[in-house]
Amino acid sequence: MKALSHIVMVLVVQLCSFSMVLGQGKFALSTTVAPMYRHFKSRNTIILPDNNGGTYTYIDKSEGSWRGSWFGLNGQYSFSPKWSATTGLWYNKSRLISGNTEARSHNFSIPLMINFQSSTRKLSPYFSVGSLWNLETTTHMYIDDIGPVVFKSGDKTFKISPTVGAGVIYNFSKHFTVIAQPTFSYVIPPVGFNSRTYQLLFHVQLMYRF
């Protein structure tokens, strides 16, 4: 969490600096709310502690779906009236119920997206492509044959998620804009982790242009 605090501080300083340097109309801040559906299929060998101070091997072969929501703060820079780039910090909270396993998970991601709107009219199609850099993850699981288990990811287990999206952007006024955009992400697993995961989101962003 200390490293995450440093990341948040750096992002806030950068976003504030951009707003002063880049000038009116080029920089915007937005909040994101995105209901989520994530499906996975995996087969992995897990080493777990036993009651005698040793360890034993557990073969985890599972498939299931996570449901939850993302919440985030974004900064956007417009290269032109139609092209822009977005970054920020997102927080996710989700839940899984699959067979004999129940789990709760939360994690953080940094998005890096390139955006294109096809026109400068009040309402326009809006497209995005880029990736999510998934940071710290904590998963609390309950498995019938084992009991409660906690998994925590670190720097060596981050995952990159290539992402594409298509939706609409609507400009209420010179300063306020709303974006509604479904996105699709494929999660690239860490080395040595055998899984296939995709994620569907429906983003709603409220944006303020400086």
pTM: 0.76
Min mean pLDDT across 4-18, 140-154, 185-199 is at: 4-18
pLDDT of residue 23: 46
Q: What's the pLDDT at 155? A: 52
What would the mean pLDDT of 131-152 be, rounded to a whole number?
A: 74
Strand partners, 30: 74, 207
What's the CA gap between 73 and 49, in Å, rounded? 39
Highest mean pLDDT among 118-122, 170-174, 182-186: 182-186
**In terms of C-beta density within 10 A (0-12 exposed, 13-18 middle, 19 or more buried), how is residue 191 classed?**
exposed
pLDDT of residue 21: 45
- Residue 20 clears pLDDT 60, i.e. is over it: no
pLDDT at 22: 44
Lowest-pLDDT choice from 16-25, 27-36, 41-50: 16-25
Bridge partners of 149? Answer: 141
- Residue range 121-137: mean pLDDT, rounded: 91
Tell whether the model's pLDDT for residue 178 goes beyond 90.
yes
How far apart, in whole angstroms, are the C-alpha atoms of residue 108 and residue 161? 13
